[in-house]
Structure formats: C-alpha cells, structure tokens
Amino acid sequence: MDIVLVTGGPAEMNSLVRPVAYRAALAFSAADIWVFSSPGSQALAREVRIASTYRGVRRAFGPREAWNTAYVGLRPRGFTVSGRGVVVNLGGDSGFAAALARRLRYPLIHYVSREYPVVPRGSALYLVEDERVQAALIAGGAAPASVRVVGDLCLDVAATMERSSGLREPASAVANRSDGSVKVIGLFPGDGLREARQMGPFMLKAAGLLARVERGTSFILRLSPFIGTASLDSVFKPTSRSARSDAAAASIDRSAVPFTLITEEGVRVPIDVGPDHSALYSCDAVLTVPGPLCHELAYAGVPYIVVAPRGLVSRRGGRWARMLSQVRAVATRSQPAGGSVLVSGPNMRAGRDVAREVVGSVRPEDVVIPVVEMIGDPAAADRVARGLKETVGLPGAADAVIQGIRSSVPG
C-alpha cells in the first residue's frame, strides 16, 4: 500500500507530516510512505532531504517533481506505486493534492484547520480540527458524512516528546522561582530559510532592546533543522539590512558550545540546534512567528508572543495571502470583536488573543512592551499558559488520521 503525504513547506513537514508518518509506519509496516511538497511551497532541497529521513518515509520529493507527477504524469526516479493507496493532504495546496490523487487514482484525505483551510471540492474525506471548521466545510458544500472532527494535529509532535523524554519545566514555574534566576526569552524566527533571513535580524534587534530594558535577561535562539548551522552567516551576517532600524546583524562564535550569536551591542544569544523545539519549553516567554510551533508551546504551557510584520506577509508570498483570505471565509467566528484576523492557531481556536499578537506595521520596539509585561508578571504569565493549554486540548489527531486511512483504502 502507498501512503502519499502532501505538504506545504518546512513547518508542515515538521509538525504535520512527521507525526503522521511515524504513526503510519507503526500501523502499516508494509506500506510505502511518500512525501510530496506542493508546487507553490518553494521547498528547498535541504527541507526535502530532511523529510526523507523521517521515520517511516521512504522518500520525499520537491515542488518540481510534484508538479511533473500530478500534472504531466512524469514520475520521479524512485517513486513506484502499487495501485493501492491513499493521498493525505497535510497543509499542502488542496488543488494539487486533488490533482495528485486523480493522477494516482487514489482516494483523498484532507486535514483541515483554521491555519490549513481547504475549499470543498470533489469526493474526499475531511479530518478537521473542531466543530466550527466542520460546520464551515459543510456549509461550503462538503457532504456531512465526509467531515470528521479529529482535533489539533499540531499537538502530536509535543505529545510524542512528552512521552519519550518528558516536557521541560513549564515557563510559569520558571517565572515563579524565588532564587533570582535570570529570565530567559526564546527566539524562533521560523522554520524556513527565507523567513529566518527576515525575522532573525528583526528578533535580534528586539533582543538588544529588551536587554537594555530588562537587565539580566538572557536569550536563546532556536534554529530550525531545515536551516542548519551552515546557513547562519547568510541569516545574520552584516548586510544592508543591518543599517535599517528593524534589523540587527551578529557575528557567530563557533568556538562556543553551543554556537553563539553576538550582536553589535554585545548581546550573546546561544543557538539551539537540537532535534526538536523542546529547548523553548523552559523559557519564560517565546517570541515567535505564526505557525505550528504556537500549538506546541500552547500544549506545553509556554506563554508566547507572535510577531508578524507586514513584510513577513509579503515575503511569504501568495500562499500566505491566500491562507489569510481563506481563514476569513472558513473561520469567521474565530475573529476577535474588532474584526481583525488572528494569525496564531490557538488564538484562532479561542477566537481571541489568549497569547499576544503583534501584527502589521511592526517595529522591534513594539515587541518590547508585551515581552516585559509577560516576564514581569508571573501570575499573568501563568494565566496565559493555562488558557493556552485549555484552548488547544488534547493530542490524538495523528491516530485519527490513521483510522481515516484504514477506512479509505479497501482491504
């Protein structure tokens, strides 16, 4: 049997594809698991190589190979099919997933959430985040019997780490220590290289400002495995960006363990390059971009601040703009009273700012106040942490996807 997983980029590879591939490998020991990056995802070669190393995955393919397979019928070298299988869309382009399923003559399953919406079309099974997304899909034309509520798939990565090694001490406990421990701010500039090139210098600038305001504050930068230490210079080296007011360059101390960024103001920021995001779980607060990490942090009870400057939206291209417009249609009731669109998944689910969002014409200075408020008020941080955990609920969606595969493939 073939299990063909369609993904939209590095964030989806890590938080959606990885747990499903792992569960599928356990449930279907003889199955071949393939990963295709949607043609519009602009997935880099490194990202495709890493996805190929996930447990259970036989091989991953990039956007060009995906296009040729679905629309031309030219299969990439090494891709063989048995004639019996399923296509599962995990954050990829829904139109491409449908075209690939038609080409392979396999049934199609979509995982659907507010962050990964789809427009109902054709015969498919829809596994959805919650009842509101379910109602929106049915109102959009999906057959009621084809829409099943399975929960938040992004939680399964954090849950897997919890079972294997235990979550680290939650941020609220760190904030309540009485031993004078230094407050730690986590920085996550995104899963992909393009995103990190913009958001890394932006976050370093914010860190420099925070270091002036909050003496003794320390920082840790989580580097996505899709970026790698070989790309550090291209992300943080001094360029024309460092002359702007919203970016800071840094040198890299490779003699330090771990590697450490040193800003022009002398702020030292150790770099975490571990296999997962768990180094952020013991931070007092995390500065991040929209994406699946927000769900992980919510499950772990870590307060976070989402920052999405207007430039981030434009640089992420058409897919990001389409996602925001689809969210308006699919999850209208998840908007706050003011009518603005929430960009963090847990906030979308709650329909309000459980965690702070700083969106639009954003400067690094705009990030300082919410971070200072968070680390300066342990009781408030604890309320945010509890609210996030209650909002995202429990894991288990990956197993529901496996059940969907069983029901879709005869025999």
Give the pLDDT confidence of 30-89 residue by residue, as tens digits.
Answer: 999 999 999 988 778 889 999 999 999 999 999 999 999 999 999 999 999 999 999 999
Q: What is the pLDDT of residue 231?
A: 86
**Burial of 53 from C-beta contacts in 10 A (0-12 / 13-18 / 19+):** exposed
> According to the model, what pLDDT value does residue 27 have?
95
- Cβ atoms of 172 and 152 within 8 Å: the answer is no
Per the listing, tokens 């408020």 go with 373
pLDDT bracket for residue 247 (50, 70, 90)? confident
Give the mean pLDDT of the chain.
85
2-151+396-408 against 165-392: fold identical: yes
With cut-offs at 50, 70 and 90, classify the pLDDT of residue 182.
Answer: confident
Rounded Cα distance, 35 and 59, in Å: 6
Go through 78-112 and write b for each residue having 16 or more CB atoms within 10 A of its CB, e for each that does not. ebebeeebbbbbbbbbbbbbbbbbebbebbbbbbb
Q: Please give the pLDDT value at position 161.
A: 57
Average of pLDDT values for 277-297? Answer: 93
Strand order from edge to edge, sheet including 218-222: 250-253, 260-263, 268-272, 218-222, 184-187, 285-288, 304-309, 356-360
- Quick one: CA dihedral 191, 195, 199, 201, positive or negative? positive
Task: Describe the chain by its helix, strand, coil percentages, rounded to 5.
Answer: 45, 20, 35
Q: Is residue 187 within 8 Å of residue 219, measured between CB atoms?
A: yes
Q: Under a CB-based contact definition with an 8 Å cutoff, are residues 205 and 307 in contact?
A: no
- Residue whose token pair is 């300082």: 368
CA 191 to CA 91: how far, in whole Å? 14
* Range with top average pLDDT, 106-115, 151-160, 164-173: 106-115
The pair of structure tokens assigned to 273 is 């390059």
Query: What pLDDT shows up at residue 391?
Result: 94
Mapped onto helix, strand or coil, the DSSP state of residue 208 is helix
Question: Residue 340: what pLDDT?
Answer: 63
Closest CA to 132 of 121, 122, 147, 146: 147
More confident residue, 185 or 316: 185
Token pair for 216: 């003794």
Q: Which of 15, 77, 367, 407 shows the shortest CA–CA distance to 226? A: 15
Say how far apart CA 221 and CA 318 lie, in whole Å. 28
**Contact of 379 with 325, CB cutoff 8 Å:** no
- Of 116-125, 283-292, 313-322, the range with the lowest mean pLDDT is 313-322
The CATH classification number of 165-392 equals: 3.40.50.2000
Average pLDDT of span 320-325: 41
Mean pLDDT value of segment 301-309: 93
- The alpha-carbon radius of gyration of the chain (Å, integer) is 21
Per the CB < 8 A criterion, the answer to whether 258 and 288 are in contact is no
Residue 329 clears pLDDT 60, i.e. is over it = no
Confidence category of residue 265, pLDDT binned at 50, 70, 90: confident
Task: Give the Cα separation of 375 and 194 in Å (integer).
Answer: 30
How high is the pLDDT of residue 294? Answer: 95
Alpha carbon separation from 72 to 35, 45, 57, 63, 157 (Å, rounded): 18, 21, 24, 13, 35
Identify whether the C-beta of residue 51 lies closer than 8 Å to the C-beta of residue 42: no
Kindly state the average pLDDT of the residues 112-123.
Answer: 88
Cα–Cα distances (Å) from 284 to 171, 175, 220, in that order, read 5, 6, 11
Find out if CATH 3.30.360.10 is the number for domain 2-151+396-408: no
The residue-averaged pLDDT of 369-393 equals 93
What's the pTM value of the predicted model, to 2 decimals? Answer: 0.87
CA distances from 256 to 128, 177, 272 (A): 45, 28, 12
What is the spatial distance between Cα 107 and Cα 125, in angstroms, rounded to a whole number? 8
**Domain spans, the chain:** 2-151+396-408, 165-392
pLDDT for the residue numbered 381: 92
Identify the pLDDT of residue 243.
53
Nearest to 183 by CA among 172, 194, 191: 172
H or E element that contains 286: strand 285-288
Q: Which residues of 312-333 are buried (b: 16+ CB within 10 A; e: fewer)?
A: bbeebeebbeebeebbeebbee
Q: Which of 9-23, 235-249, 322-336 has the lowest mean pLDDT?
A: 322-336
Residue 193, token pair as written in the block:
């290289």
